[in-house]
Every structure is written in structure tokens, then in C-alpha cells.
């Protein structure tokens, strides 16, 4: 796991985002154990309470679960739920901005569709 912390966002949110990202990228696959609070805490010198607060966000979102005396595990179906969540956000995060920027640049709807087509082909 590679964490990139920045200084402007609360650390506990960043912990939650980084673990979620790792589950999304299948770095931690479903049913697998995620690093313990202490491990993350030690690795990045973050207060264990802060790490736990971040983890609890993921527990509440039903992405990871606590198994007594063992640790935290990725819940089956977690990856799918993250994909689902991100799909829902896709419109807000990207499409809205895309269209608004296109309008500023006087790109028409067919032109934008063409550009998207080109983007898919370039891949």
C-alpha cells in the first residue's frame, strides 16, 4: 500500500480514501485482511485514534468489517460497491464539468461526442 498524504485535508479522511482506493484497485481483495490500525499508524506516524476514525468510515460504509481479535477484513462485494458509488459520482464529478468547459470553448454536442469517441479509440 502506498499512501500519499497531503496537508490540506483532515488525515482521517485521507486514511479512509487511501484504503478505499486500494480496495478499488484490488490491492486488497475481498475477504482479505487490511493492515491493522497499528501497522498503518506506525508506517505513517499517524495517531492510532485518527487511523481508527478513518477505518470506521469504511466500516460504516460496509466496505470493511471487524473480526474480533483478528483485525479488519474487506467485505465481500466491497469492490463492486465502490465501483457503483464512483459511477454515481461520475456524472457529478466529470460529465457536468466536461459539458460546462465544452460550452465555454463553444464545442457543440456532436463535436463533444466525436471527441469522446476519439478518446475511446486512442485507448
Partner 1 sequence: MSIQVKAVSQAFHHQTILDNVSLTIEPEKIYGLLGRNGAGKSTLLNIISNRIFADHGTVTLDEQSMRDNDQTLGRIYLMSEVNLYPDRTKLNKLLDTTTQLYGDFDRPYAERLAKEFGLDLNARFGKLSTGYRTIFKLIVAFCVPADYIFLDEPVLGLDANHRELFYNELIETYSEKPRTFVISTHLIEEIANLIEHVFVLDHHQITVNGSVPDILERAYTISGSDHDVTTYTQGLNVIGADHLGGITAHYVYGPLQDDRPIPDTVKIEHLDLQKLFINLTNTKEEAHVN
Residue 66 binds to partner 1 (criterion: CB under 8 A):
no
Point out which residues pair with 66 in neighbouring strands.
72
Q: CA 32 to CA 87: how far, in whole Å?
A: 24
* Smallest separation (angstroms) from partner 1 to the CB of 10: 5
Nearer to partner 1, 33 or 108 (CB): 33
Nearer to partner 1, 5 or 90 (CB): 5
Q: What residues from 21 to 60 belong to the interface with partner 1 (CB under 8 A)?
A: 37-38, 41-42, 44-50
Q: What sign for the dihedral angle of Cα 31, 37, 40, 43?
A: negative
Collapsed DSSP state (helix, strand, coil) of residue 107: coil
65 touches 73 (CB < 8 A): yes
Where on the chain is the footprint of partner 1 (CB under 8 A)?
Answer: 5, 7-12, 37-38, 41-42, 44-50
Amino acid at each position: 500500500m502506498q499512501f500519499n498524504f497531503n496537508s490540506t485535508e483532515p488525515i482521517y479522511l485521507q486514511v479512509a480514501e487511501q484504503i478505499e482506493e486500494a480496495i478499488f484497485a484490488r490491492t486488497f481483495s475481498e475477504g482479505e485482511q487490511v493492515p491493522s490500525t497499528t501497522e498503518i499508524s506506525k508506517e505513517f506516524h499517524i495517531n492510532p485514534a485518527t487511523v481508527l476514525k478513518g477505518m470506521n468510515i469504511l466500516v460504516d460504509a460496509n466496505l470493511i468489517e471487524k473480526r474480533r481479535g483478528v483485525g479488519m477484513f474487506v467485505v465481500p462485494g466491497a469492490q463492486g460497491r465502490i465501483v457503483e458509488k464512483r459511477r454515481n459520482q461520475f456524472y457529478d464529478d466529470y460529465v457536468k464539468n466536461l459539458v460546462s468547459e465544452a460550452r465555454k470553448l463553444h464545442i457543440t454536442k456532436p463535436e463533444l461526442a466525436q471527441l469522446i469517441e476519439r478518446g475511446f479509440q486512442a485507448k
